[in-house]
């Protein structure tokens, strides 16, 4: 359908970040912005910014700087869906609650519609305004609330099962924060983030910087 073939992953990430700071600019009354200004905000190069914008900007009217409002809309057209997408958080531990708090009251097209846990003390309570359901009702709620994205924050030993259930319920994207890796079919997008290995990576390079001086 759409001619726009899928953007590079990195570009999508950056566009999302640009948009946030562009919205801040707008709220400060700044209506035009240069690529090098955006670049400075995010500590990248202006070429990088222009490349990214190039990939989404069909219109080519060359003026000085970008119209902030227009750019925000342009990014929205690409990364949002018309109707928005619904999200579930799996596991209401500290990390799950952090995420719930994080997204509370954001004005994007992404809405956290439900969270799940196995702890009866958490079920039926609300966390950052989001109701908690029992894992047993996963399939039902996902379908009822038309949830298409799941964020996994359950303990390692539960991860594989939860992932399996998500996929079976027809989820389209999974963000896995558990240290246990999962696999999903090709028609589900998977992003995994391992907090331990990130930290060990930082430790490794911090050490090496020290050594090389």
- Torsion over CA: 39, 44, 45, 51 (sign): negative
Instruction: Please select the residue that binds a second copy; options are 2, 27, 59, 63, rule is CB under 8 A.
Output: 2
Binding mask 179-208 for a second copy (x = CB under 8 A): x-x-x---xxx-x-xxxxxxxxxxxxxxxx
Task: Give the angle subtended at the CA of 16 by the CAs of 15 and 18, to the nearest 5°.
Answer: 60
The pair of structure tokens assigned to 177 is 């924060």
First to last CA, the chain: 54
List of residues contacting DNA (CB under 7 A):
8-11, 34-36, 44-48, 50-51, 53-54, 57, 60, 62-66
22 in contact with a second copy (CB under 8 A): no
Question: Which residues neighbour 160 within 8 Å (Cβ) at sequence distance 6 or greater?
Answer: 180, 182
- 26 binding a second copy? (CB under 8 A): no
**Could you tell me if 72 and 98 are in contact, meaning their C-beta atoms sit under 8 angstroms apart?**
no
DSSP state, residue 189 = E
Which position among 33, 49, 87, 162 is part of the footprint of a second copy (CB under 8 A)?
A: 87
As given in the structure block, the two tokens for residue 29 are 């009354």
179, 158 Cβ separation under 8 angstroms: no
> Of DNA, a second copy, none, which one does residue 194 interact with (CB within 5 to 8 Å by kind)?
a second copy
Note whether 56 binds a second copy by CB under 8 A: no
The reply on whether position 72 binds a second copy by CB under 8 A is no
Question: Interface with a second copy by CB under 8 A: which residues?
Answer: 1-2, 6-7, 9, 12-14, 16-17, 20, 41-43, 78-79, 81, 85, 87, 93-95, 97-99, 101-103, 106, 108-110, 148-149, 151, 172-175, 179, 181, 183, 187-189, 191, 193-213
């Amino acid at each position: 359908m759409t001619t726009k073939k899928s953007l590079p992953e990195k570009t999508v990430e950056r566009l999302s970040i640009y948009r946030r700071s562009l919205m801040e600019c707008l709220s400060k009354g700044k209506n035009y912005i240069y690529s090098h200004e955006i670049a400075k905000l995010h500590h990248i190069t202006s070429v990088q910014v222009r490349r990214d914008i190039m990939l989404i900007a069909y219109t080519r009217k060359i003026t000085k700087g970008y119209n902030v409002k227009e750019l925000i809309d342009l990014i929205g057209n690409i990364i949002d869906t018309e109707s928005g997408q619904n999200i579930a958080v799996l596991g209401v531990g500290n990390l799950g609650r952090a995420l719930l708090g994080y997204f509370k009251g954001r004005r994007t097209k992404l809405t956290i519609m439900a969270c799940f846990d196995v702890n009866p003390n958490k079920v039926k309570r609300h966390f950052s305004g989001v109701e908690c359901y029992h894992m047993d009702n996963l399939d039902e709620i996902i379908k009822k609330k038309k949830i298409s994205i799941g964020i996994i924050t359950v303990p390692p030993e539960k991860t594989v099962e939860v992932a399996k259930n998500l996929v079976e319920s027809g989820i389209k994207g999974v963000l896995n924060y558990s240290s246990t890796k999962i696999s999903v079919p090709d028609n589900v997008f998977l992003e995994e983030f391992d907090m331990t290995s990130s930290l060990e990576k930082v430790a490794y390079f911090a050490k090496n910087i020290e050594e090389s001086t």
